[in-house]
Chains A and B, each alone.
Chain A
Amino acid sequence: MTNPYFEILRPGINTTIQDSGRNYLYHIGITVSGAIDQRNYKLANCLVNNKLNEAIIEFAYQGPLLRLNNGNINFAITGDIFFNIIKNNSEVVEGKCYQNYILKEGEQIDIISTKKSAYGYLAISGGFQLKETWKSYSINTKAQIGPNNGKKYSVNEKIFIKNSILKNSKNKKINYKNPLNNIIRVLKGTNFDYFSKEAKDIFFNQSYSVTRMVDRMGMRLEGSNLENIVNTNIKSEGLIRGVIQVPADGKPIILLSDHGTIGGYPKIAVVISADLDKVAQFTPGTTIQFKEVNLDEAEKLFKDYTIETDNYLNECS
């Protein structure tokens, strides 16, 4: 007997499998990938009793329309998402994020759209039946690595689910609100002093808006140009998630989970670890403001972020 599976009736804009990411491969040019909002990823798994690093479906803006075949499952959706459950008698039930649901054979999940954010997550109790590549299930569409030949999902494709006995698990809920403030805390980058005094002032005192040029690789910002007084190129060197580069045009770019591993633009700043989930969720047009913190503060803020995440995880387990 075949496993239960999702049949993709509508793929959505950018539907992929993600997990905690792929490490130890930067040196050959393979980026980390992984769920772009790690907290929402973990919360989704927690809500369906999975290990926190189980692979799940990530979607952006418009999500997929999925029909379940060959069995019943328990699922949860996290993020700021508008979705419906379509029952076998065609009854449409509006879904709520941060709680688990039972989905029966033949029923559909219609992930209509994200609300004030870019990404959302769908976790299935027991997880998906997938093949690992370099210890991760993340799809990296740039290098075509991971499940589904490293491609985002298309219509009529299937995503198989591990055979697991559907436990009559009690209804789980987390009372979670996605952060709404638009202040991004950063540390000075290694090329901070390549920029003029005016540019430094602009960077920390004026706001920037998120352009339409945003994907899993990076986020281009629009705002006052940042004047470089040293050199608009550096010898190519390693990059990490959260780096804010400024190319010759003076407009900052924030690097996200699928960023190139090496680059030659000056680094004006780096987003602190505690704010990476928040940054990734900004949609085009959002106005953001950078705020400088020092390393001690950044480390303390990361501890707070971790404790807060753990508190939500405890709430649901």
Chain B
Amino acid sequence: MIKNISNLGDAAIYCDFGSDVNEVINSNVTDYFNHITDLVKQEKILGITNLTPSYNKLIISFDLSVIDFLKLKKIIENLDIKKHIKKNNQKIKIPVCCDDEYGLDFERLSNKFNLSKDEILDFFFDKEYFCYMTGFIAGMPFLGDLDKKIRINRLDTPRVKVPEGSVGITEQFANIYTFESPGGWNIIGNTPKKVFHKLNLLDPALIKPGDKVIFYQISKEEYLEFND
């Protein structure tokens, strides 16, 4: 549950669920997010303009001309949150081609982990991942947790352009670059699957917090022929 509520500026509430990053804490965040989103849709709370769940925080932005921090804090503190409303919980399969032209950082990773490329891939694909949050750029999922043997920091100097579809790893997390973007994650492959559909207005992000993701490896031929 929420450990501490404070203000972030004069028009947002900062809910801290604890310092750890794990599925239990993140599910608490998601429960609050889902519950408050429903109340906003039903117009039972007025003035909220955005909700941003992350690993262990929830930030609630509001319109200061409608409501203020103390009033909204009181409402949040008195919510009766139903646990684990398993709304999102799809299992999504993501094909990844790890040929060297897509997996840009294997040399660095092999040196760092003292593992061959195949060994790294075995650790990476042998897992079901949990989506903690989406964001930074539209629809980018933050997935965890990577096997302890393949955890690494961001690049010292981020790339100016990471290609769209790139699958990256950093610390205990994997992500997918939904757009070409600057970025510092270690790139191990590329997916031909579209993870963000801007034309799908009702449901643009394929992967949502709480979802499970299974990556599977494909060849370059399969990559090129992939039809979404």
A27 touches B10 (CB 8 A): no
Q: Verify B179–A143 contact, CB threshold 8 A.
A: yes
Chain A residues closer than 8 Å to B58, beta-carbon distance: 238
> What is the CB-to-nearest-CB distance from A242 to chain B, in angstroms, rounded to a whole number?
6
B214 vs chain A, min Cβ distance (A): 21
Q: Give Cα A54–Cα B137 distance, bound, in whole angstroms.
A: 27
Q: Is the beta-carbon distance between B10 and A187 smaller than 8 angstroms?
A: yes
A295 to B53, CA, bound (A): 24
The verdict on A30 contacting chain B, using a C-beta distance below 8 Å, is: yes
CB of B44, distance to nearest CB on chain A (Å): 15
User: Inside 8 A of A237's CB, which chain B residues have their CB?
Assistant: 52, 54-57, 59
A240/B61 in contact, CB under 8 A? yes
Q: How many residues of chain A are within 8 Å of chain B by beta carbon?
A: 41
Q: Please name the residue on chain B nearest to A146 by beta carbon.
A: B198
The number of A-B residue pairs with CB atoms under 8 Å apart is 138
Chain B 50-81 per-residue mask, 1 if CB under 8 angstroms from chain A, else 0: 11111111110100110011000000000000
Q: Bound complex: CA of A96 vs CA of B53, how far in Å?
A: 45
Within 8 A of B (CB), among A228-275: 235-240, 242-243, 260-263, 267, 270-273
A302 contacts which chain B residues (CB < 8 A)? Answer: 10, 64-65
CB distance from B137 to the nearest CB of A (A): 6
One of B108-116, B117-125, B128-136, B220-228 at the interface = B128-136
Residues of B within 8 A of A272 (CB): 9-10
Task: Known contacts A187-B10, A261-B52; decide if A29 and B139 are in contact (CB<8 Å).
Answer: yes
B9, A28: Cβ atoms under 8 Å? Answer: no
Contact B198 A143 (CB under 8 A): yes
Query: Which of B8, B134, B205 lies in contact with A240, CB distance below 8 A?
Result: B8
Of the candidates A26, A150, A187, the one whose C-beta lies within 8 Å of that of B52 is A26
Contact partner, A187, options B7, B19, B54, Cβ 8 Å: B7
Minimum-distance CB pairs A-B, first 9? A238-B52, A270-B9, A238-B59, A29-B135, A262-B135, A298-B10, A143-B138, A261-B135, A26-B50
Residue numbers of A with Cβ under 8 A of B are 23-30, 32, 133-134, 142-145, 150, 187, 189-190, 235-240, 242-243, 260-263, 267, 270-273, 295, 298-299, 302, 306
- 9 other contacts beyond A27-B33, A27-B50, with CB at 8 A cut-off? A28-B138, A29-B205, A142-B179, A143-B179, A236-B55, A237-B54, A240-B61, A262-B52, A271-B9
- Between-chain CB contacts (< 8 Å), 26 pairs: A25-B50, A27-B33, A27-B50, A28-B139, A29-B139, A29-B178, A32-B49, A142-B179, A143-B137, A144-B179, A150-B198, A189-B8, A190-B8, A235-B56, A235-B57, A237-B55, A237-B57, A237-B59, A238-B57, A239-B59, A240-B11, A240-B59, A243-B8, A243-B9, A272-B9, A295-B69
